[in-house]
Chain A
């Protein structure tokens, strides 16, 4: 069989396996919902805001594909990474990788199969977004169809980025010393990089390197938007914001229409270069993927020492604090050194940075950094099979969930401690209370989503979304004063936290009861 046949065989099986998972359907629904919900509108929170004081927002059907492409470029590249990550690890855990290692398939063919499959998955999601954008266009502007180029071209600039993200996720999985958890932290880093790079790259002539690695396709779309704005006002667009609020009165504002992407040779070359880099990354990943099973046992922080002293200490402490201590240990000691270094850095930064930066960025980053700690909450017992064992012990399911939540809350509060201290010193009651509520909300949400989905993925995706929203609109979670809106938000968050906790415990309690056979 030709190598392409082998690659396609792997890609097809992997794609079918994942596309039939419930999580994929949820992702599709989620993508459609976001496209429909954040449709460009004259006022309110919208997907794309362009010079709100000059142009009437969402004034033309061409806004729909452009805004959908811009959002999907950012969202798919960030969440796509989180969604695709773990694809090799899953084969390793299920034993499929071992089975493949006994066959003549090369590592390169295997990983290229994965690359094709991952890219196809993201393309499917992009397809859903395109379809949603089309329906939105039909609803908002019935009968005003765009030319195929005007509609499809914004999405074309996103596609090379999807290949790049797939390749990068594979590289992160295969790279030694970067474990699964650290890889997730890198996903966060990517997310933050995009958020920070976007305003930085708003300059007319960004560094060539930024342009080449603009895998979300933002720069090309921005230039195309600016070109359209130039035809109306005689100057390029000054302000292009994704997922932002627009509160201008639309009376007297100009209508802006786009004509797809402006064909630009340099951007075309950039995209080709990005594709070449993706192929290179996959090659590198295939070199890093171990040929055989690892025989060396790397000691992890979570392993107790073989020396008696430390072991007996652990036993005594475990006895003293029971499940809570065990859960705390499980959450913290499984983390990589990279994570600890990052956590310490953020903690110190929260303590020493100007309070505005703490409020606008650092608190969000601090919570985002806790993702690997929280992502196992509620679902680990199902994935490891421990739930079966816990069901046989009276009340153990609920007790374990309770201990898990308490441990998560303790970690969350410890992480938020510098911010809480700063707000307390400044007598900023609203800031203090909102951080406190957020610190309680996150473990509750992690437990709830983990418990009900039996997977870590929904929480990871949800947290990423929350973090992006919080970085764009800090007041969404961190109140800057006691107002009706901020108090309502805090009350809703606290109530949501309590409801999620209750539902998690309820499901655990229901899981403990013996069901009658049908």
Chain B
């Protein structure tokens, strides 16, 4: 699978949500999409999921323009939105059956896959209970099962880890990472640690523009020599306007890490950058 995005722009009235975005995504590795709030991540995902029509540009899936032929994408897409939309009075089995018929799956194949997905995602025990009583994590698992129905070749996940507990987050990202082996998986998040462990490809967006596209290591290398570490007695010791990537309370004070071309503190020492530091550096110190 090959997904090419060429010169994609999206305007909401006068506001520009995306500006000249060009990317190429290939199957065989999870792509992380990171950026601060308002960067245009959700708009990009909605356009790729054929929910929005871009103002300009092309999106080619294996050479077919999905602007003109959205079904080319819809036939192979598994979409996992941030809030899983459900019919609260249906149970998981009925809900998945409904989506399977929407995806035009054959009833026998649908039944088989739903059974297997419910087992894989540990939903078998609660499969007959109404979805309105499900916790956030359980709903998310139902959403994943829905996205995986019909064996999609492209999976788009829009901030799927929001609201999940740490264990559920780890499980979800491992699952998506496993799926990425033979598919295009695009995972949008503003939690860098979600993509750090599993993404082989990273896209950083800011104000609708692609700031970086490449391997996470390349991004980390970009921030080399731009991360500084120092200790202060309390928070008032941190100079105003500095881009703080982390502040950890220790026995000898607060261990602060900042990103920038120059250290903001005389005692600051250069530190090796993490992916989070590098992302922060790339977007100019704006919080993710």
Contact = CB atoms under 8 A, between A and B. Distances in A.
B127 to A, nearest CB: 15
Interface in A1-39: 1, 5-6, 8-10, 12-14, 16-18, 20-21
Interface in B168-210: none
Contacts of A101: 50-51
Contacts of B74: 102-104
B88 interface: yes
Nearest to B79: A102
B221 interface: no
Contacts of B240: none
B100 interface: yes
A13 B107 contact: no
Nearest to A2: B104
Contact of B86 (A16, A20, A96): A96
B119 interface: no
B213 interface: no
Contacts of B86: 94, 96
Contact of B97 (A9, A20, A95, A100): A9
B71 interface: yes
B83 to A, nearest CB: 6
A489 to B, nearest CB: 40
Contacts of A8: 101
B12 A99 contact: no
Contacts of A10: 98, 101-102
Contact of A102 (B10, B77, B88): B77
A247 interface: no
A5 B107 CA distance: 9
Contacts of A16: 87, 89-90, 94
Interface in B62-106: 70-71, 74-75, 77, 79, 81, 83-90, 94-95, 97-106
Contacts, number: 103
Contacts of B71: 104
Interface string B36-77: 000000000010011111000000000000000011001101
A147 interface: no
A292 B51 contact: yes
A207 interface: no
A297 interface: yes
Contacts of A21: 89
A356 interface: no
A291 interface: yes
A94 B87 contact: yes
Interface in A312-351: none
Contacts of A510: none
Interface string A82-107: 00000000000011101111111100
Contacts of B244: none
Given A9-B97, A13-B98, A105 B70 contact: no
A96 B81 CA distance: 10
A9 B101 contact: yes
B102 A98 contact: no
A1 B85 CA distance: 24
A1 B101 contact: yes
A17 B90 contact: yes
Interface string B95-131: 1011111111111000000000000000000000010
Contact of A295 (B53, B70, B75, B87): B53
Contacts of A100: 102
Nearest to B91: A16
Q: What's the interface size class on A, roughly?
A: 20 to 34
B30 interface: no
B13 interface: yes
A99 B103 CA distance: 10
A98 B94 CA distance: 19
B98 A297 contact: no
B85 A94 contact: yes
B33 interface: no
Contacts of B10: 295
B99 A292 contact: no
A13 B81 contact: no
B223 interface: no
Interface in B9-24: 10, 12-13
A102 B89 contact: no
B193 to A, nearest CB: 26
B87 A13 contact: yes
Nearest to A100: B102
A98 B51 contact: yes
Given A13-B98, A104-B75, A104-B104, A99 B88 contact: no
A98 B85 contact: yes
B51 A13 contact: no
Contacts of B51: 98, 101-102, 292-293
Contacts of B77: 102-103
A6 B105 CA distance: 9
B157 to A, nearest CB: 12
Contacts of B130: 20
B145 interface: no
Interface in A265-320: 291-293, 295-297
A293 B46 contact: yes
B146 interface: yes
A292 B83 CA distance: 18
A9 B98 contact: yes
A297 B17 CA distance: 14
Contact of B98 (A12, A18, A102): A12
Contacts of A104: 71, 74-75, 102-104
A104 B107 CA distance: 16
Contacts of A105: 102-104
A20 B130 CA distance: 10
A76 to B, nearest CB: 22
Given A95-B81, A102-B51, A104-B74, A6 B104 contact: yes
A17 B85 contact: no
B85 A99 contact: yes
Interface of B: 10, 12-13, 46, 49-53, 70-71, 74-75, 77, 79, 81, 83-90, 94-95, 97-107, 130, 146
8 contacts: A8-B101, A9-B101, A10-B102, A99-B99, A102-B51, A104-B104, A293-B46, A295-B12
Given A1-B106, A94-B87, A98-B85, 15 more contacts: A1-B104, A9-B97, A10-B101, A12-B97, A17-B89, A17-B90, A18-B89, A96-B85, A99-B81, A99-B99, A102-B49, A105-B104, A110-B102, A292-B53, A295-B53
Closest 7 CB pairs of A and B: A9-B101, A95-B85, A13-B98, A20-B89, A17-B87, A102-B79, A105-B102
Interface of A: 1, 5-6, 8-10, 12-14, 16-18, 20-21, 94-96, 98-105, 110, 291-293, 295-297
